[in-house]
Amino acid sequence: MSPLDISLADLIARLDEELPESNELARISEARLRAQTLSDLGDQLIDHYVSKAKQTGASWTEIGDAIGVSKQAAQQRHAPGPFERFTELNRHGIVLAQEAARTHKHDSIGTEHLLLGLLGETQGLAHEVLVAKAGSERRVRDAIEEVLPPAGAKALRGHIAFRPESKEAIEQARRVSSDLGHDRVGTEHMLLGLMRAEESRAAQVLRHLGFTSDELHETVTAAIAERRAARDE
């Protein structure tokens, strides 16, 4: 096994740098949140290669042996889920949304957290569209923070559920992708899905930034075409 391009020393140095005024108890809480995020990313890494293995014809028994669990456990944990068609960038945005909810000690994932997740995935097309419209990432982040609910008393451990409006936005993202004839659901589709959830906090933020539903759709489709043309050159 080759060494990972990250070490415990790196993680400690970054946390200490970002929280210079915090005491050790506050750093314990932040370290636990980051550990959960790393765990979520690790699960997605395994899911990625399980999907690849299934595409090549591997059985659940073989996959279970590779993971070190039973066939039943492998199938239950890694069977196709609600984000099967999501791109890796979009899945990472979902992880970042969960981290945002946990960091703010919220007990559910709202559309505002999903928007923060898209903003945090800087390689995604959604990030490009948001920053181009707002002029800076900071302006987008400030607009989202204005609609965030007050922080809760305690950060949740483990899974954090989606609010109904977030589930609606995710379903709308799938529909947008299908309507455009795309096989995968990317960050750009997620952004359009958030706008389609018209009563959500994310849609409120997007309108505040100056987007209309039609304009956002036109901007995203144009950006998709530009990226495809650049890849074909």
User: What is d(CA 49, CA 88) in angstroms, rounded to the nearest whole number?
Assistant: 12
What pLDDT band is residue 233 in, cutting at 50, 70 and 90? low
Tell me the per-residue pLDDT of 92-115, one tens digit each, with 9 for 90 and over.
999 899 889 988 889 899 999 999
Quote the pTM value.
0.69
Helix/strand/coil (H, E, C) string of 94-163?
Answer: HHHHHHHHHHCCCCCECHHHHHHHHHHCCCCHHHHHHHHHHCCHHHHHHHHHHHCCCCCCCCCCCCCCEC
Tell me the per-residue pLDDT of 32-78, one tens digit each, with 9 for 90 and over.
878 877 887 787 788 888 888 888 999 989 998 998 888 888 877 77
